[in-house]
Amino acid sequence: MSHDVGRQQRALTWSLAANAGFMVAEFVAGVAFGSLALLADAAHMLSDVGGLGIALFAQSLLSRPPSARHTYGLQRAEVLGALANAITLVAAAVYIFIEAIERIGNPSEVEGGGLLVVAALGLVVNLGSATMLARARGEGLNMRGAYLHMLLDAAGSAGAIVAGIAVVFWRALWADPLMSLLIVLLIVWSAWSLLKDTVHVLLEGAPRGLVPEEIEAAIAAHSGVESVHHLHVWNLASDVRALSAHVVLDEALSLHDAQEQGDRVRTMLEQKFGIEHATLELECHSCEPETATT
């Protein structure tokens, strides 16, 4: 794998411990101060704790070696972890939305000072966790999902701070559920982006930033290659690219020379397109059926 799995596991472990501890404190404070913004953020943090746990478990599977049953190892576990994280984000957004709609028409009493203090502490925890994950996340979707959870929680804490200020200075009780709705919009936007990318990987779509036609042209232009067909490119994991293709060589070569030619093409694919796993079927003539002419 291209990223440091051990470093990412440590970042996830520290973030999980910090957020689990603060989640309990925020829930108690939300009940004590009557703040939906704090309760909503605590519910979102519950999804974060679950999401971090999923991400940590998925990340631990990446280090398992390939086996006869899983010949590529369990690299795609990180994509499944990201998918689970996206689903928990959506579930949290639905819960917060329902609660906020009920309270906007009937705002309840909120202890603005307590809300302000707890939200400020939450912002520190969230930003610290997000910074730690950002430094270790690499390009994997699993770490991206965990990072998004932390970043959105930081946004939630910032929203709760604004609500606390509005309540303390202007007795604007409606600000608490309104901020909760704004948090929902942020959650849904990020969850959709993450969900779309994970499904794209699971459906074996072409990796983001790669154009199959450009790859095919690069192989065909390589010295000693006549043509290319049956080219497929996909992600084994979100940051591990794979390719298979039939490559027709422009002259009959010995097995040794053909293998060397294939090695040169594979080296080009890794250097130019970042494709780590390339399976090439070398041919002396195309295996595609000829088109009948009239």
Report the C-alpha gap between 128 and 144 in whole angstroms.
Answer: 16
Q: What is the mean pLDDT of residues 63-82?
A: 80
Unique residue bearing structure tokens 């329902």: 98
So what's the pLDDT on residue 215? 95
Q: What percent of the chain has pLDDT over 70?
A: 88
Residue 120 has pLDDT above 60, yes or no: yes
Tell me the pLDDT band of 41, cut-offs 50, 70 and 90: low
Q: What is the pLDDT of residues 153-184, one digit of tens each?
A: 787 778 778 877 887 787 777 777 787 788 78
- Tell me whether domains 5-202 and 212-283 share a fold: no
In degrees, rounded to 5, the angle at the alpha carbon of residue 225 between the alpha carbons of residues 221 and 231 is 80
Gap between the Cα atoms of 39 and 275, Å rounded: 45
Q: Where exactly are the structural domains of the chain?
A: 5-202, 212-283
pLDDT at 138 over 70: no
Tokens standing for 127? 């930003």
Most confident of 8-17, 76-85, 204-213: 204-213
Return d(Cα 19, Cα 122) in angstroms, integer: 9
Provide CATH code, domain 212-283.
Answer: 3.30.70.1350
Inter-residue contact 207 to 240 (CB < 8 Å) = no
What confidence category does residue 292 fall into, taking pLDDT thresholds of 50, 70 and 90?
very low
What Å distances lie between residue 113 and 107, 161, 170, 217, 249, CA to CA? 17, 10, 12, 64, 74
- Given pLDDT bands bounded at 50, 70 and 90, which one contains residue 107? low
Contact between 17 and 45 under an 8 Å Cβ cutoff? The reply is no
What would the two tokens of residue 168 be?
A: 């303390």
Q: Could you report the per-residue pLDDT of 231-270, keeping only the tens digit for each?
A: 999 988 777 889 999 999 988 788 888 899 999 999 999 9
Residues 114-119 have a mean pLDDT of 75
pLDDT tier for residue 98 given thresholds of 50, 70 and 90: confident
Average pLDDT over residues 90-104: 79
Beta bridge partners of 232: 244
122 close to 18: Cβ distance less than 8 angstroms: no
The CATH architecture annotation of domain 5-202 reads Up-down Bundle (1.20)
Q: Tell whether the model's pLDDT for residue 3 goes beyond 50.
A: no
